[in-house]
Amino acid sequence: MTLMFLNGAAMRGGPLNHLLKDSPLVGVVRTAAKYRFYSVGDAFPAIEAVQSGGVSVVGELYDVPWDVLERSLLPAEPEELELGVIELEDGGGTLSMVRRRAYTEPHTYRDISHHADWRAYKASLEAAQ
Per-residue pLDDT averaged across 9-23, rounded? 97
Report pTM.
Answer: 0.93
Three-state DSSP class for 60? strand
Residue 101 pLDDT: 80
CA 3 to chain centroid: 13
Residue 106 has pLDDT above 70, yes or no: no
Is the pLDDT assigned to residue 43 strictly greater than 90?
Answer: yes
E-only strand ranges, the chain = 2-6, 25-30, 35-40, 44-49, 58-64, 81-87, 93-99, 109-111
Instruction: Please check the confidence at residue 83 and state whether its pLDDT lies above 80.
Output: yes
What percentage of the chain has pLDDT greater than the value 90? Answer: 89
